[in-house]
Structure 1
Amino acid sequence: MSKYCLSLVCPPTAAEALLDLLLESEDSDVFTSSHVHSHSASHAGLSTREQVMGRSQAVLVQVLMGEDALSALIERIRKNFAGVGIRYWASPVAIDGEIK
């Protein structure tokens, strides 16, 4: 089965709810989260400070999952987080494993 890394960039205000959704999901193998800066030419929704800095605070969540679960999870996120402004993309994973 093919695996994918789903990357989600979300506003900090939505991060806990997104992490909760992923913790309740049985479709993901593992996921990580980290605080990042998001850069975009669009200034919609940015504070004056963020516009001056040219970046906004965001949380990057990366989820490792099988191909079958990918579309279902994206649809769940789309349904539960409509209007939040979560950006996403998926990349195929060439290899994964665990070193014990």
Structure 2
Amino acid sequence: MTDQQVCLTLIVPRQLREEMFDYLAEQSDIVSGFTASRTAGHGGEVRLYTAAERVQGHADQAMVQVILAHDEAVRLLDRIRGSFAGTRLVYWTTPVTEFGIID
């Protein structure tokens, strides 16, 4: 076990955005907060759901970032896999060397 902090990044299709926000808010034993922003998905594996996305050539998505301990990220990902199976969410983790609040 390690308490090394990581940033878990999730790429969420526009259609699942609010559902993911609600889901993460329910995971209060692991997630104390998160940051989300709009993003555009490009590439052969990206699903373009609407005519507008096909014309634009990219998918409207949300990027959600959560800072948490590595072990908690593993637990959260296991939960997400169960709750969002089949949705092809993209994710990655990166080490966080420093995290804080400037007060």
Q: TM-score, normalised by structure 2?
A: 0.86
* Aligned twin of 2:96: 93
Q: Distance in 1 between matches of 2:33 and 2:45?
A: 32
Unaligned runs of 5+ in 2: none
Q: Displacement of 1:29 after TM fit? A: 3.9
Correspondence for 1:5 among 7, 29, 49:
7
Between the aligned residues of both structures, percent identity stands at 32
* Contact 2:30 2:72 (C-alpha < 8 Å) held by counterparts: yes
Aligned to 1:23: 25
- Are 2:84 and 1:78 aligned? no
Shift of 1:7: 0.4
C-alpha RMSD of matched pairs (Å): 1.6
How far apart in 2 are the matches of 1:61 and 1:83?
A: 19
Report the number of matched residues: 100
Paired residue type of 1:6: L
Consecutive unaligned residues of structure 1, counting only runs of 5 or more, are none
CA deviation after TM superposition for structure 1 residue 32, in Å? 0.5
Identify if the C-alpha distance between structure 1 residues 98 and 88 changes in structure 2 by more than 3 Å, giving closer, same or farther: same
- Please list the CA deviations of residues 37-58 of structure 1 after superposition, one character each: whole Å capped at 9, or x if unmatched: 1111235454343233221100
Q: 2:50 aligns with which of 35, 47, 50?
A: 47
Give distance in 2, aligned partners of 1:90 and 1:47. Answer: 29
TM-score (norm 1): 0.88
CA distance in 1, matches of 2:34, 2:58: 24
